């Protein structure tokens, strides 16, 4: 354990770089097809000219991440490997910022193990293999925590600006920190760090409103249903889902340790956690903005909170009077449970956040096998019906020039049906209609399966 603790930074960099390398041919997957590939294609195919996105791919975010990918493609080539490796600078920022934050709070005998424990979060690991704007969000958020800790106001200003330009959730985090500043009654001078973000983000959305006529979402948006206000029944359901998100993929082990510390320590003091106020305000804002709407409770939405809670556990563990050996064992066991969370695959009738653990990794290999079978047998993509996340043009997954796409299951009744345990969107009625279909082929790999059915 001592060797691991001393070499934790090298282990962290090596492990995450290996993750990127191993997954460097993974297709764009889940929401990154929209938030990464489609946004980037728009700018890449239009000569990098800044513009608002077409409404069918405009989900309300400032498309800075997509523009970044388009620039990277222009400079280095539009390939999957280039796209994956474009995430490496931000992964380095995540690891560097976490190390600085942890070193400041935790004794050196635990700091390395603590770093590896926080980095073992399955959702963080998965997002870092997915060319995802969440990598930006986490990198800038952790960079901001380090900037607050080191009292570097220019860094605080920079990371608040970058958060605001990343996504709507980035803006929510900025609002949460602004709310924290208000409650702490910070001086007017300290609020200066919000000025650049306020000007640029505000200007973007004012211009967007004037030209596009809407901000955030509009009635004909593909995402309008997700933004519908929830009734009381849905709100309680959403709360239950959010609680499960926080416990899922073995994250319950973090809370088990926290409860153990509360029981064990007579002087349990959460007030000593330096980011307590940011954790509370961010929880209020992120959960508040999601439970009151119909479909905004994906695992990745709460990733900054998962990491803050893990940091709070680490901080409190460091403060207890347990022996150093027990503390190390707790961190090692917690890390093992979190890593094991990547192997959790639920029964087929239970929806799973496939972009939130490494369990998704066989997806690309199976998709390639299916595509090869269709090509060999002369079956056109449009003759196969399926559901999300397999409905976009092929070029958005593979970065090829192929404009083939599968048909949407609800639009027509083609001869072939493609189903998978990765699909969460098949309705019970649709599933019952597939019972009498003939199995044409089935691919299975490490718990992920796809089946091609026909009449």
pLDDT tens track for 370-428: 999 999 999 999 999 999 999 999 999 999 999 999 999 877 678 899 999 999 988 87
Is the model more confident about 455 or about 421?
Answer: 421
Q: Is 113 in contact with 8 (CB distance < 8 Å)?
A: yes
Task: HSE, CB side, 13 Å, CA atoms: give it for residue 341.
Answer: 32
DSSP code for 290: H
**Which conformational region is residue 441 in: left (phi greater than 0), alpha (psi within -120 to 50 degrees), or beta?**
beta
Determine which helix (DSSP H) or strand (DSSP E) holds 423, and give its type and residue range: none
Q: What is the pTM of this model?
A: 0.95
> How many degrees, rounded to 5, is the angle at CA 180 between CA 179 and CA 183?
85
| Average pLDDT of span 358-372 | 97
| Average pLDDT of span 176-194 | 89
Q: Please give the pLDDT value at position 78.
A: 97
Q: Please give the pLDDT value at position 94.
A: 98
Distance from C-alpha of 308 to C-alpha of 40, rounded to nearest angstrom: 30
Burial of 241 (C-beta count, 10 Å sphere; 0-12/13-18/19+): middle
Helix, strand or coil, per DSSP, at residue 417: strand
Q: How many CB atoms lie within 10 A of CB 284?
A: 13
Helix, strand or coil, per DSSP, at residue 224: coil
- CA-to-CA dists, residue 414 to 24, 207, 251, 352, 424, angstroms: 34, 43, 42, 27, 20
Q: Write down the mean pLDDT value for the chain.
A: 93
- CA-to-CA dists, residue 339 to 47, 84, 119, 249, 416, angstroms: 42, 22, 9, 9, 37
Distance from C-alpha of 181 to C-alpha of 202, rounded to nearest angstrom: 19
Q: Please give the pLDDT value at position 432.
A: 78
DSSP code for 28: P
Q: How confident is the model at residue 248 (pLDDT cuts 50, 70, 90)?
A: very high
* The dihedral formed by the CA atoms of 84, 95, 133 and 295, expressed in degrees to the nearest 10: 120
> How many degrees, rounded to 5, is the angle at CA 85 between CA 397 and CA 12?
120
Task: Average the pLDDT over each of 138-142, 156-160, 401-405 and give the range with the smallest value.
Answer: 401-405
Task: HSE, CB side, 13 Å, CA atoms: give it for residue 25.
Answer: 7
Q: Is 176 in contact with 290 (CB distance < 8 Å)?
A: no
Q: Is 135 in contact with 128 (CB distance < 8 Å)?
A: yes
Give residue-wise pLDDT tens across range 75-90. 999 999 999 999 999 9
* Cis check: omega of the bond before 389, within 30 degrees of 0: yes
| Average pLDDT of span 330-354 | 95
CB under 8 A, 24+ apart: contacts of 398-407: 398/27, 398/80, 399/28, 399/37, 399/78, 399/79, 399/80, 399/83, 404/380, 405/381, 406/381, 406/382, 407/381, 407/382, 407/383
Q: How confident is the model at residue 114 (pLDDT cuts 50, 70, 90)?
A: very high
């Amino acid at each position: 354990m001592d060797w691991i603790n001393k070499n934790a930074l090298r282990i962290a960099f090596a492990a995450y770089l290996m993750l990127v390398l191993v997954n460097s041919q993974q297709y764009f997957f889940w929401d990154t097809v929209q938030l990464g590939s489609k946004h980037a294609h728009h700018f890449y195919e239009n000569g990098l000219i800044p513009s608002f996105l077409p409404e069918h791919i405009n989900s309300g975010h400032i498309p800075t991440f997509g523009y970044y990918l388009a620039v990277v493609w222009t400079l280095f080539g539009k390939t999957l490997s280039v796209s994956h490796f474009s995430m490496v600078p931000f992964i380095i920022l995540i690891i560097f910022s976490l190390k600085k934050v942890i070193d400041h709070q935790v004794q050196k005998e635990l700091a390395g193990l603590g770093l590896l424990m926080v980095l073992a979060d399955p959702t963080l690991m998965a997002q870092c293999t997915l060319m995802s704007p969440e990598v930006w969000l986490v990198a800038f958020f952790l960079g901001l925590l380090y900037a607050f800790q080191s009292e570097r106001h220019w860094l605080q200003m920079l990371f608040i600006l970058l958060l605001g330009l990343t996504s709507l959730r980035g803006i929510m985090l900025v609002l949460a920190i602004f709310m924290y500043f208000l409650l702490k009654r910070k001086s007017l001078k300290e609020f200066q760090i919000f000025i650049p973000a306020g000007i640029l983000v505000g200007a973007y959305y004012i211009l967007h409103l004037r030209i596009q006529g809407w901000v955030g979402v509009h009635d004909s948006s593909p995402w309008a249903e997700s933004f519908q206000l929830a009734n009381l029944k849905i709100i309680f359901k959403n709360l239950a889902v959010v609680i499960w998100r926080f416990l899922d993929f073995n994250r319950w082990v973090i809370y088990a340790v926290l409860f153990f510390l509360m029981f064990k320590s007579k002087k349990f003091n959460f007030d000593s956690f330096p980011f307590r106020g940011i954790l509370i305000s961010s929880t209020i804002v992120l959960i508040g903005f999601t439970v009151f709407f119909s479909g905004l409770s994906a695992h990745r939405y709460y990733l900054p909170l998962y990491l803050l809670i893990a940091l709070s556990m680490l901080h409190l563990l460091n403060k207890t009077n347990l022996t150093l050996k027990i503390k190390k064992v707790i961190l090692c066991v917690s890390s093992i449970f979190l890593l094991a969370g990547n192997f959790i695959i639920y029964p087929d009738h239970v929806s799973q956040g496939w972009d939130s653990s490494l369990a998704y990794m066989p997806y690309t290999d199976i998709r390639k096998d299916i595509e090869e079978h269709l090509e060999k047998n002369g079956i056109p993509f449009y003759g196969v019906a399926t559901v999300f996340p397999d409905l976009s043009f092929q070029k958005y997954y593979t970065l090829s020039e192929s404009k083939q796409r599968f048909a949407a299951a609800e639009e027509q009744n083609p001869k072939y049906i493609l189903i998978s345990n990765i699909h969460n969107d098949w309705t019970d009625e649709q599933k019952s209609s597939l019972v009498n279909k003939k199995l044409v082929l089935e691919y299975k790999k490490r718990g992920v399966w796809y089946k091609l059915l026909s009449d």
